[in-house]
Amino acid sequence: MMTERITYQDIKNARGDVIERRPLREGKITGVVEYYDPKTKKVRQRATFLENQLHGPMLTYDKNEVAERKFEFLQGKLHGVSEFYRNGNLYALIPFIEGKINGVAAYYDAGGNKRMEASYKEGVLEGDMVLYGSLGHVSKVIPHKGGKKQGIAKSYYPGGALLKTEPYLNNLLEGNVTQYYENGKVCAWYFYECGKMMEGPRIFDQKSKELLPKN
């Protein structure tokens, strides 16, 4: 059985530098296309095609030829988990379905510690955004709906005790913002309308005695 022959086409800039090399099968781009930096001649990107459509992995490289982004495509659309790197260190994992972010995206610091998770549906924030502290604990949970902060955001001490509650309506603070001591007693209280503080702060000691008079 004869296999179909692959030929290669070089794309050059005005100076004659090769900036792209395409594999062709029956006149269609099929296989791994390489894109070059015309100054350094190094590969800056590799992308997999099937009959002129992105289909499979795509990798982009930094100046040291270390992968800095990895994507997966299905019939021309992002599909699968995309990986992002800085100086060789992973800093984001973002899931795509048919070209839109769907699922839980995760973000990391330079030490590889997870610092944030965010839930998406059809490319829009939907569900909890979770922030992590330097000790690895959940430091804040912010609910989202339709891409906006919606509901009660909660902050936590490293030991897990509740630190603060913040009510959101359409991305704006709306209602009582309450801060707590680690023992659960109220530390401070504020009242917001449409994102503006209308009353407070009211400050309390650990015996619930108010330290500042009410405005």
Residue 192 sits in the same domain as residue 138: yes
| Dihedral of the alpha carbons of 26, 32, 36, 40, in degrees to the nearest 10 | -130
CB burial of residue 49 (10 Å; 0-12, 13-18, 19+): buried
- 162-174 residue pLDDT tens: 999 999 999 999 9
Q: In this predicted structure, what is the pLDDT of residue 213?
A: 57
Q: What is the mean pLDDT of the chain?
A: 94
Residue 30 has pLDDT above 90, yes or no: yes
Residue 178, domain CATH: 2.20.110
Region 92-104 average pLDDT: 97
- Residue 202's domain comprises 123-215
Domain-embedded: residue 21: yes
Residue 94 sits in the same domain as residue 39: yes
Q: In this predicted structure, what is the pLDDT of residue 211?
A: 83
**Number of domains composing the chain:** 2
Q: In this predicted structure, what is the pLDDT of residue 212?
A: 64
